[in-house]
Each structure stands twice: as structure tokens, then as C-alpha cells.
Amino acid sequence: MASSSASAPAGGDKPTAIVCVGMAGSGKTTFMQRINAHLHGKKEPPYVINLDPAVLNVPFESNIDIRDSVNYKEVMKQYNLGPNGGILTSLNLFATKVDQIVGLLEKRSNPEDGKTPIKNILVDTPGQIEVFVWSASGQILLESLASSFPTVIAYIIDTPRTASTSTFMSNMLYACSILYKTKLPMILVFNKADVKDPSFAKDWMTDYDAFSEALQADEANNAFGGVEGEGGGSGYMSSLLNSMSLMLEEFYTHLSVVGVSSMTGQGVDEFFAAVKDKTEEFKRDYQPELERKRAEREETKRKTREKELEKMMKGMGMDTREAGSSKDANAPIDDNDDVDVPSDNDEADDYADDDEMDREGLQARYEAAMQGSAVSNMEEASFAKFLHTQRQQ
């Protein structure tokens, strides 16, 4: 492990992986361009990974691009898939290269050729958020990153579309589900702050009364349906949102919230300050749990291997005993005899388990058959041939 130096990444010898997720239209790719340009302006160029196979053009240069490895349109055509299925299958195919990706990132975080180590890894994900967050390939990619580097989720929210209490709560519930699915520290990024000031969202998250007032205002304005002029609707929606707000109070305390404008650069410094705090939180709270789970998986794998090995050894021991029994039974047979050996293992088991198949019993049966046989040339038949004939009868 490389030692810390003036050129080492801040907060330790490992760069921080910032995984940007967000719904389509939230400005996620534009936000990626902004923070990438910000880091380049500070002479700290990040390592950029694009995981969106369906995007035509990205406004930033990627070090690793899924489109270089997987042809999205060809995947759709070959497997007869729709857009979402094509993205999911492309991610599944790309996930098979995750070891190579982590290897490249580790080389760039500890370069041996005198280059400056990277301090940040930026990951852009598909706009179809559920395809990445809830898929097996997305989980593999996230777990692989988190096993090697401090990893932070940046959940991008379209601020103007979150102005109503119902859409705001929908975003919060989605963020909550992502947090508990990935089990990684999260930053809520209220994007497009130049269009809509996100201070209202911060107030709703920290002050229950402020959210209740906004909820009552929406109810009065028939935001939840109802008869014109009466407002309120059935009251079910208002009651549900109130309950959810109380339930998510604990969830809000574990989040960092920043307002950012990808167009003007507003709030970018605040965002990276939050990234630094979440990196320390990852090392303090999340990394020990990840290491414990990794150790459990390794122990489970070890026990499974031992069980399979024990099962294989028992099988080999059984085959050895069967071979030994067969050899004892055929000991009197001369090497020149024309022996037709049964190939079925079940028949071999029958020979081994039959108490009457000892040498004396076989010899007595053979002699009795010789006396009662009408075949004139029985003397020319070997003892082994007779056994085989009796077995077939």
C-alpha cells in the first residue's frame, strides 16, 4: 500500500469514487461535465467512467467507456430486446470485466511511472436508474468499487420538478430505497439551482412544520384532486405524505444536501466538501461493515469448497473399495481367459453386496452346473465366462 505524500489523494491513499445516479432529465450528465471541469481547473483531473451504453455523445472525455466494449444496438438486435433490456444486458456483459476495471483504477491510484495519483473517480450511470441500481450487474460494479475505494452515491434531483410536496416525497422515498439498497453514503444533489432555489427542499427536510404548511397549501390548491373550490380531495394523500415525512425524519439525518447549478457552477465547492465528509464517514462507518461481510462471504466459500472436497473424497474412496472387491472376486481368473467385464456400476455394486458371491460358494455352484449341463464343450468355458452367463440369465 502506497504511503501518503503531498501528491497522494486527500483523506488517504485511495481516491474517492463518486457514482452519479438520477432519473432521466435530472441533469446528471451535465452535472458530471461540471464537476469534471471543476477538478481539471484545480489541476486534479479525475478518472472518468461512463456506464451508459445508450448515450450518443457525452460532453466529457471518459477514461473507460462501456461503449468501447459493448455495442448497445447490436445487443438489442442480437437478443431481440427493447431499450431497457438492451441497457441491462449491456451492463451485464460489461460487468464481466469488473476485475480489469478495478485493476486499472488501482494502477492509476498508485502509479509507478511518477505520474500524479488520481484523487477522484467519477462514474456516470444510465438515466434508467432502476436498470443500474436494482440489477445484479449494478450491484457487482458498486460492490467492486466499494471493496477497493471509498465510494459515495450522488443522487441528482431535478429541483424545478420537485417543487410540489408529492413529487418531493417521491424523490425522497426513491433516495431512501437507493441508500438502503447500496448501503453506501449518499449526497442529495438538488440540480438546476439557477432555475429554482433548492432552499425550500432543505427546509422541508429539516423542519416538519414547514413541510406541513406546504402540504396544506397544495391541498387547498387541489393538488391532490377533489371538487373545484373545495380542495383537499379525499384527504388520503395529505395524510400519507404527513406520515412519510415523519417516517423519513431519521433518514434525513444521514444525508448531505447541496444545491448545485450545472450550468453556472454554483454549489460545486459545497458538493466536494460534502464528498470529503462522506469519504470519512465511509471509512469510519461503512468500510468495517463491508469488510465483515466480505469475510463472511469468504468463509462461506471456504466451507463450501471443503464440503465439496469431502464429498469428492468420499466418492473416490467408494470407487476404490469397489475396484478392490472386483479384483478379489476375479482373482482366480487367468489373464488369458476371455473375460467380458460388466460396465454398469450397479452390477458391480450387486457383486460386492451379495454374500453368496464368495469363492467357495461360486466354486460349488460352478461344479453343480458342470455336472448337470448338457453342453459338451463346457470344459472349454472359463469360470469368468460362466459367471457372466449366469448373471445375464
CATH code for the part of the protein at 16-221+241-293: 3.40.50.300
Among 260, 254, 261, 296, smallest CA distance to 278 is for: 254
What is the amino acid identity at position 45?
P
- Residue type at 137? S
Find the mean pLDDT for residues 168-188: 92
pLDDT on residue 325: 52
Span 103-152, pLDDT tens digits: 999 999 888 777 889 999 999 999 888 889 989 999 999 999 998 999 99
pLDDT recorded at residue 198 = 93
Quote the CA–CA distance of 67 and 166 in Å, as a whole number: 37
Tell whether the model's pLDDT for residue 75 goes beyond 70.
Answer: yes
CA end-to-end span of the chain, whole Å?
A: 74
Residue 378 pLDDT > 50: no
pLDDT at 225: 65
Is residue 91's pLDDT more than 50? Answer: yes
Mean pLDDT check: name the lowest of 10-19, 33-42, 115-124, 282-291: 10-19
The angle that helices 165-182 and 236-247 make with each other, rounded to 10 degrees, is 40
Residue type, 175: A
| Structural element, H or E, at residue 17 | strand 16-22
DSSP 200-217: HHHHHHH-HHHHHHHHHH
User: What whole-number distance in Å separates Cα of residue 386 and Cα of residue 384?
Assistant: 5
Higher pLDDT among residues 359 and 156, named by residue:
156
Q: What is the CA radius of gyration of the chain?
A: 35
pLDDT confidence bin for 387, thresholds 50/70/90: low
pLDDT, tens digit, for every residue of 5-23?
A: 333 444 347 899 999 999 9
pLDDT at residue 186, rounded to an integer:
94
pLDDT for residue 2 is more than 50: no
Say how far apart CA 70 and CA 62 lie, in whole Å. 15
pLDDT tops 80 at residue 259 = yes
Summarised one tens digit per residue, pLDDT across range 219-234 is 888 777 655 444 445 5
What cell does 109 get?
Answer: 491510484
